[in-house]
Amino acid sequence: MDSIIVTGGTELKGTIPIAGAKNACLALMPATLLSDEPLTLTNAPRLSDINTMTHLLQSLGAEVTALQGGQVLAMSSHDLNNVTADYDIVRKMRASNLVLGPLLAREGRAVVSLPGGCAIGARPMDIHIDGLEALGAEIQLKDGYLHAAAPRGLKGAVIEQRFASVGATENVVMAATLARGTTVLKNAAREPEIVDLVKCLRAMGARIEGEGTDTITIEGVDRLHGATHQVVADRIELGTYMIAPAIAGGEVELLGGSMELLPAFCEKLDEAGIVVTPTNGGVKVARSNGRANAVDVKTEIFPGFPTDLQAQMMALLATAKGTSVLEETIFENRFMHAPELMRMGADIDVHGGHATVTGVERLKGAPVMATDLRASVSLILAGLGAEGETMVSRVYHLDRGYERVEEKLGACGAKIERVKGE
């Protein structure tokens, strides 16, 4: 397996282009199943998770062609011949469950394996199931697969989610586009990825209102047509690279980024003493006054602080002045990066969903192991500001969510390299 070696102590200066959003693209790709006409996505990220979704769609009979080095995805589902999402593909990635709603809406049936992905705690399918059953689907769990059918088609309904699940919102919205009548989804997720999906569905002919709020209304149509859609910038990649100069020092401009994608995160960086300013091309981040200030962080659904930036924020706070408390409210078991940061000299005390971080003056390089996607990059970030060399192993997680990390950071002066494994 590949490893990433980082030698700390170098300030960063330069620009980093922000890729299209992985989480947006993974929801947009299954939308092709809703129509027999072509759907083209531009600004697609070049990641292993995108490849996994490509293989899944192809296994269902969809055509997916990567163009322009993978940044354009040309898709067509004019000849679907399978409604089973097999375990061997689905186990690799949580977002594979997003074929469930579109298959039900288009084909009237679907068999989807329970999903996999990072080991950051249980992320059950019950909210997805409740929403689709409210639309008239009949769903049973057999041998690790969800067997779903809508023999009489889907019908609009008023649905109130008990939690604003992003994935369930995406599944229900996609299914409802082809349902008879009107669907009102209450306590819907408000994330930018949801807004981006709705923009794409609307371009395909869907009738949807309320995206970006907690109530989304979908008026079903008989069919959707083809479209071309540009994937929104990846706010998690944006936030990750905003933390890089905050840890290492220096000044970096993130091209294509927007502070509006990360309102609560930007507020916390400001509180920590990190200077964030909008530019004509994106966002500029600088640390000019030594160590960051300690801040308390609580992860919340959008527009709150993203759970997917909690690990990176912990890496920053490990060398902040004072003591910080991080509260994780979205996923249990998402502090697995803490012991690895402690190997680098961090002072962290974890109790359930809380982590108390007492900043030290500087971390020290050490061999560490990535446990999940965001933990991987948090250890690389920590290495940027550490004394000496940090080797991060098991970085196959990293390639699921970040393209060419070593190139992007290296272009700003970071001493970082990938070492190929056997």
Gap between the Cα atoms of 57 and 69, Å rounded: 19
Q: What is the pLDDT of residue 24?
A: 97
Burial 24-46 (b: 16+ CB within 10 A, else e): bbbbbbbbbbbbbbbbbbebbbe
* DSSP-H helix ranges across 39-86: 48-59
Which tokens belong to 161? 């989610």
**Amino acid, single-letter form, for residue 140:** Q
Measured CA angle at 283 (ends 279, 288), to 5 deg = 100
Summarised one tens digit per residue, pLDDT across range 195-224 is 999 999 999 999 999 999 999 999 999 999
Peptide bond preceding 45 in cis form (omega within 30 of 0): no
Q: What is the pLDDT of residue 278?
A: 97
Summarised one tens digit per residue, pLDDT across range 263-303 is 999 999 999 999 999 999 999 999 977 899 999 999 999 99
Q: What is the pLDDT of residue 116?
A: 53
3-state secondary structure 130-150: HHHHHCCCEEEEECCEEEEEC
To the question of domain 3-18+233-419 being in CATH 3.65.10.10, the answer is: yes
Q: Is 94 annotated as a binding residue?
A: yes
Q: How far are the Cα atoms of 164, 332, 337 from residue 327, in angstroms, in the given order?
A: 18, 10, 14
Three-state secondary-structure class, residue 173? helix
Q: What is the pLDDT of residue 92?
A: 84
Which tokens belong to 241? 């690279």
Gap between the Cα atoms of 171 and 174, Å rounded: 5
How far, in whole angstroms, is CA 264 from its chain's centroid? 17
Summarised one tens digit per residue, pLDDT across range 60-72 is 999 999 999 999 9
- Which residues, 6 or more positions from 23, have their beta carbon under 8 angstroms from its beta carbon? 95, 166, 191, 193, 234, 236
| Residue 365 near residue 389, CB atoms below 8 Å | yes
**pLDDT above 50 for 162:** yes
**Across 231-242, average pLDDT:** 97
Catalytic-residue membership of 266: no
**pLDDT above 90 for 114:** no
- Domain pair 3-18+233-419 / 22-230, same fold: yes
Three-state secondary-structure class, residue 327? strand
Q: What is the pLDDT of residue 339?
A: 95
Q: Could you say which of 25, 118, 200, 412 is catalytic?
A: 118
| Residue 399 near residue 45, CB atoms below 8 Å | no
Residue 269: other Cβ atoms inside 10 A: 23
**pLDDT above 60 for 123:** no
Torsion of CA 359, 336, 234, 208, to 10 degrees: -120
What predicted TM-score, i.e. pTM, was given to this entire model?
A: 0.90
Q: Is 4 annotated as a binding residue?
A: no
Gyration radius from the chain CA atoms: 21
Tally the C-alpha atoms within 13 A of residue 100's C-alpha that lie toward its C-beta.
36
Gap between the Cα atoms of 203 and 293, Å rounded: 45
Which tokens belong to 164? 């604003």
Q: What is the pLDDT of residue 94?
A: 80
What CATH superfamily is the domain 22-230?
Enolpyruvate transferase domain (3.65.10.10)
Measured CA angle at 46 (ends 26, 224), to 5 deg = 35
Q: What is the mean pLDDT of the chain?
A: 94
Which tokens belong to 227? 């479209």
Summarised one tens digit per residue, pLDDT across range 173-192 is 999 999 999 999 999 999 99
Question: What residue spans define the domains of the chain?
Answer: 3-18+233-419, 22-230
Gap between the Cα atoms of 17 and 254, Å rounded: 6
Q: Is 97 annotated as a binding residue?
A: no
**pLDDT above 50 for 86:** yes
Q: What is the pLDDT of residue 341?
A: 97
- Which residues, 6 or more positions from 70, have their beta carbon under 8 angstroms from its beta carbon? 44, 46, 50
| Residue 357 near residue 327, CB atoms below 8 Å | no
Summarised one tens digit per residue, pLDDT across range 353-366 is 999 999 999 999 99
Three-state secondary-structure class, residue 272? coil
Q: Is 23 annotated as a binding residue?
A: yes
Q: What percent of the chain has pLDDT over 70?
A: 98
| Residue 240 near residue 377, CB atoms below 8 Å | yes
Q: Give the confidence band of 20 by pLDDT, cuts at 50, 70, 90.
A: very high
**pLDDT above 80 for 237:** yes
**pLDDT above 50 for 120:** no
Q: Is 79 annotated as a binding residue?
A: no
Gap between the Cα atoms of 30 and 281, Å rounded: 31
Residue 362: other Cβ atoms inside 10 A: 16
Summarised one tens digit per residue, pLDDT across range 93-108 is 888 999 999 999 999 9
| Residue 71 near residue 91, CB atoms below 8 Å | no
**Across 246-271, average pLDDT:** 97
Gap between the Cα atoms of 32 and 41, Å rounded: 10
